[in-house]
Chain A
Amino acid sequence: MNNKLNVKRKSAEKKFILLGRVSILLAFVFLAVFLFTIFKTGISGFYKSYIKLNIFFDSEYLELPKDYSDSNLRHADFQGIANKAIYKLFPNVKESSDKKELRKIISSYSNLTIKNALRNDKALLNKEVSLEIPLNSVFNLLNKGLLDENLPQEKRNFTDLQLSFFNQLKNKGLISKKFNWDFFKTGDSRAPEKAGIGGALLGSLFSMIICFLFSFPIGVATAIYLEEYAPKNLFTEFIEVNINNLAAIPSIIFGILGLSILIDFFELPRGTTLVGGLVLSLMTLPVIIVSCRAAIKAVPPSLKHAALGLGASKTQVVFHHVLPLALPGTLTGTIIGLARAVGETAPLLMIGMVAFVVNLPKTPLEQSTSLPVQIYLWAESAEQGFVEKTSAAIIVILLFLFAMNFAAVLFRNKFEKRW
């Protein structure tokens, strides 16, 4: 009798454990597939293809005087000398339509690379130097093997003629692939080969700093007040319930709040990281309050009594004993709250942080995007070159979030329960 019951109980337990393991395995498989696909498409986004061209800085063609200034450079036709350089490699190409196809191999933003070279070394004028010029996005992808050459010509973005040009250049060893540091330094662009996440990174950084500066002090102060000073009555209970509810409000509603209050009423500049950070801080605030209160609750009452017994005032007890012990837990919660804020998109769309911004923001009062918004923008884009950029940006944000969560775990393990 008893034995039978025992066997039944044991087998139920085994089934339950098996079920748990299967579900964990499934979760891991999904995660692995997700990460694999993202990394597979994204890694190439960190690389950029170049062509080595002998650029002749022809002062006559560029219409530059001997002692030219930066303003002269602005109007000089650097793209033209890049084109000339690539024509020179194919002396037999005479037809202007063929030349057009040829010059489309290099990026239409090559002029920037050439201009910078001259700006950095004025002695280059009327000299010939070998420079690495970025390829047009299509040929960048082709170089990385991401495009199918065997498709019929109508179905691809490059002609047979261009393909033969490209293969000849490749055979001459002029085409190379390098890690693209500029990806982290430049803002958005219409040309995938030039677009970077620098602006979005700065935007995310600014809004995070603002979010932290607002939500952390207010959150900690609120938590201390509610936990240590506030009388326990219906009103404070009502506030407590509402703070917990705040954490569950869909983020887009915070965006609408920000739009109507911060932008329409207070007339803060639209689409800036200042407004973005403030809106995100509304979302982070309940997370910080809840984690800080939990951390304060975890401080043993015996320590508070010890301090009170020595004649410390309530405020002294809070600042000398409770807060130092509650801070690690609070910071862990704050990091997790901020990590959530970094990945937030919807409220930022509402307050207009969704524009095409080429320049890097220098202050929180400038129009900017953020990482997830940039991902959203690129994912929307029709151009094929943005696919790898999107995935690359996703990798960056994932690494970012991973680092933050890792920091939170480290923090927790290091400072947890020292008393």
Chain B
Amino acid sequence: MVETKKEIIIECKNLDVYYGNKQAIKNVSLNVYDNQVTALIGASGCGKSTFLRCFNRMNDVIDICKVTGEIHINGEDIYSKEQDVEKLREKVGMVFQKPNPFPKSIYDNVAYGPRIHNLTNSKKELDELVEKSLIKASLFDEVKDRLKESGTALSGGQQQRLCIARAIAVDPKVILMDEPCSALDPIATAKIEELIIELSNAYCILVVTHSMQQAARISKRTAFFHLGELIEVGNTEELFQKPKNKMTHDYITGRFG
């Protein structure tokens, strides 16, 4: 089994999420392993995004959202009172569904995280960090001559890679991606997928996706959600070939959702 070789980085226990009175996540427990891609799949509205946002506490932004249960990342209870949310988000980066670069230069986009967290001591260090992050996001060659140009002037796929570069510039442990390719064409999608696989050597990556093929291509483990419940989780290959649960089977064979 692949997952036994890896270390558990996220432990999620009995997680419930409510929007007002409506329960969006129902008693979910899941372990996530480091240095691999875990895919979250399930029909629209089943709570994948909600679940993902629990890991960097972006649900805090939504007034009516209430989270109970426990999530430990590297052994730290991220919902404890002492948890500094800004520090948590430094460790747990996020890439959104729609590319959302800041309307600033490409350089400033990537440098923003290191700047607010004071990660570098000199302009030179920052320059290097920006370059390194852009290289890791395999965007550097395309933009190295126009770092001063606006990030919003890039193509959709480039923008998304810029967002990935921006996320990895603060050197997170975990990267959360919510349908990172849904706004992109197949070629840009292929590039991002390749990038995700490459990045999984260094980071723990959680990806929400609607595409079975994508989940199969990029992830080692897959978790299937249905109406807020975690139905099945396991090795991606096994889950797709021999799903244990009838609902999983129906979903991946396209019978509903």
Contacts and interface: CB of A to CB of B under 8 A. Distances in A.
A308 B87 CA distance: 11
B89 A308 contact: yes
Nearest to A304: B61
A410 interface: no
Contact of B100 (A305, A316, A325): A305
A306 B117 CA distance: 15
B102 A303 contact: yes
A309 interface: yes
A313 B87 CA distance: 10
A418 interface: yes
Contacts of B116: 310-312, 316, 320
A418 B116 CA distance: 23
Contacts of B90: 310-311
B119 to A, nearest CB: 11
Q: Main secondary structure on chain B at its contact with chain A? A: helix
B63 A310 contact: no
B170 A309 contact: no
Contacts, number: 62
Contacts of B152: 418-419
Interface stretch (B40-48, B72-80, B91-99): B91-99
A308 B167 CA distance: 11
Interface string A302-338: 1101111111110010001100010000000000000
B90 to A, nearest CB: 4
B30 to A, nearest CB: 21
Given A308-B89, A310-B113, A302 B100 contact: yes
A232 B64 CA distance: 12
Interface string A284-309: 00000000000000001011011111
Interface in B174-217: none
B78 to A, nearest CB: 13
Nearest to A309: B94
Interface residues of A, number: 19
B86 A311 contact: yes
B135 interface: no
B126 to A, nearest CB: 15
A308 B94 CA distance: 10
Given A306-B163, A316-B116, A311 B100 contact: no
B102 A311 contact: no
Nearest to B60: A308
A312 B100 contact: no
Most buried by B among A232, A311, A313, A316: A311
Contacts of B58: 305, 308-309
Nearest to B103: A419
Contact of B96 (A305, A418, A419): A305
B102 A307 contact: yes
A313 B84 CA distance: 10
B172 to A, nearest CB: 9
B114 to A, nearest CB: 10
A310 B166 contact: yes
A308 B61 contact: yes
B25 to A, nearest CB: 19
Given A306-B100, A321-B102, A312 B94 contact: no
Contact of B93 (A300, A307, A310): A310
Nearest to B85: A311
Contacts of A325: 103
B87 A311 contact: yes
A59 B170 CA distance: 86
A306 B102 contact: yes
Contacts of A321: 102
A311 B57 CA distance: 11
Contacts of B63: 232
B248 interface: no
Given A305-B61, A307-B102, A311-B113, 5 more contacts: A302-B100, A306-B102, A310-B112, A310-B167, A311-B117
Query: Which 5 residue pairs are nearest across A and B when measured between Cβ atoms?
Result: A311-B89, A309-B94, A302-B100, A419-B103, A311-B90
27 contacts: A232-B63, A300-B100, A302-B98, A303-B103, A306-B100, A306-B166, A307-B112, A308-B58, A309-B89, A309-B93, A309-B94, A310-B89, A310-B112, A310-B113, A310-B116, A310-B166, A310-B170, A311-B86, A311-B88, A311-B89, A311-B90, A311-B113, A311-B116, A311-B170, A312-B86, A312-B112, A320-B112
Interface of A: 232, 300, 302-303, 305-313, 316, 320-321, 325, 418-419
